[in-house]
Amino acid sequence: MSETLSAESALARDGAARIEWVRRHSPVLDGYVRDAVNDGALRGTRIAVVVHLEAKTAFLATVLADAGAEVIAAGSNPRTTDASVVAALRERGMTVVADAGGDYGSWERELRAAADCEPDYIIDDGAELTMRTAEHRPDVFARLKGVSEETTTGTARLQAMSAAGRLPFPALTANDARCKHLFDNRYATGQTTLQAILRLTNRQIAGARVAVVGYGYVGKGLALYAKALGARTFVTEVDPVRALEAHTDGHTVGARRDVFPQAQIIITATGGMRAIGAADLPHLAHDVILANAGHHDLEVDTEALAAAAASAAESRPGITSYRIGERDLHVLAGGALVNIAGGSGHPVEVMDLTFAVQGLGVHHLASTSLDPGVHILPKALDDSIAAAKLASYGIRLDELRTDQLDDHTARMAGTADGGSPA
């Protein structure tokens, strides 16, 4: 018994040290946001934080708890929960309904347990808890005061619910805040996905043929970083404008059947399901590496791979190799988000921005009367986050002088106010 307690204590200390490292490198969340949310608006509220449960998410949870909220922590994916962080939050006295090393069955039970805690607000990832609350606890769903959503996938789900008349509360799409998607989706995912792939495979990227499936902000970041590291980059897209953008950015663009046979590494970034599915298997080259950077673990259809394979084995930690005919196809991190399940997740500096959006977002929901439906974080709050980040770097900006303003616009404004143009 004492040995178990000692091990738990050591695990909690490790988690606390990881969370402290995040705090030290999160000047916006630990300064500007902490001050803003500490005005009493969150005191006594119950907030479920359901994002990948690692140190950066844990620090956001502690900032909200310090502002007087009762925080329930859960994971948005069963493969990305950090045991040391769970132990540290529990030692602090926080309600944590997730454990590391689970599967999809245990994850479903954890999300239902989070819904059973009857939160007032949800900080969600993929709308995973929001949807399950609607299904499992419709009474709690009807009483929800608001949701702040992290991802493109979750935003699409919330918009669909709103269009169907099934969203009885306001939801903020944190993903649409500029301080989120311009940095988190592009730079953070681009950097850390490539880092995780290289760490897991020990392969060279310079000169490698890398294909990116999807050219949203995440796909742009992936292709940008791969190209910067010397890869030959390919993009496959279904949206013609995004495909044209990828072509103009210097990537080779084509259909899956043309791109996949050339690719040595394929990274999915669609936010949808089965971006690489059964129909794509004949086009995959021998020894190809398949990695997922989108929300769904099912972007790479591992069930289809398993059904088509004569055998499957772990050829290296974090790599499952499927033997299909004369080809070996290698899937990283079981198809889960490779930068978290196979790496350390997003850089602290970027998550300082993303979780500043989430922290101010849930505070905005608690302190402002919004109609049911999907809303975007006000521009003034978005700008204030960027300004706080610039200030932490010691960067100062100019302001427009009056002589730099558009004279025509000023004259029209004067007319509208009842004056006459000069």
Same domain, 28 and 140: yes
| Contact assessment for residue 120 and residue 46, using Cβ atoms and an 8 Å cutoff | yes
Look at residues 3, 28, 63, 79 and name the one whose alpha carbon lies nearest to residue 297: 79
Q: What is the 3-state secondary structure (H, E, C) of 34-98?
A: HHHHCCCCCCCCEEEEECCCCHHHHHHHHHHHHCCCEEEEECCCCCCCCHHHHHHHHHHCCEECC
Can you give the pLDDT at residue 152? 87
In a domain, 410, yes or no: no
Provide the number of structural domains found in the chain.
Answer: 2
Same domain, 25 and 141: yes
Tokens 């009857």 belong to residue: 118
Q: Which of 308, 324, 341 is the last residue of a domain?
A: 341
Same domain, 14 and 114: yes
Same domain, 133 and 251: no
Instruction: Determine how β-strand 319-324 pairs with β-strand 327-332.
Output: antiparallel
Same domain, 231 and 164: no
In a domain, 415, yes or no: no
> What single DSSP character describes residue 342?
S
> Which two structure tokens, joined as six digits, stand for 313?
């084995």
Range of the domain at 317: 186-341
CATH of the domain at 82: 3.40.50.1480
Can you give the pLDDT at residue 210? 98
Same domain, 204 and 295: yes
Same domain, 210 and 311: yes
Q: What is the 3-state secondary structure (H, E, C) of 232-295?
A: EEEEECCCHHHHHHHHHCCCEECCHHHHHHHCCEEEECCCCCCCECHHHHHHCCCCEEEEECCC
CATH of the domain at 206: 3.40.50.720
Q: List residues bridging with 149 in a β-sheet.
A: 124, 173
pLDDT in tens, 92-141: 999 999 999 999 899 999 999 999 999 999 999 999 999 999 999 999 99
Can you give the pLDDT at residue 2? 61
Q: What are phi and psi of 48, to 5 degrees?
A: -95, 120
Positions in the chain short of pLDDT 50: 420-422
Q: Could you give the CA distance from residue 87 to residue 11 in angstroms, rounded to a whole number? A: 6
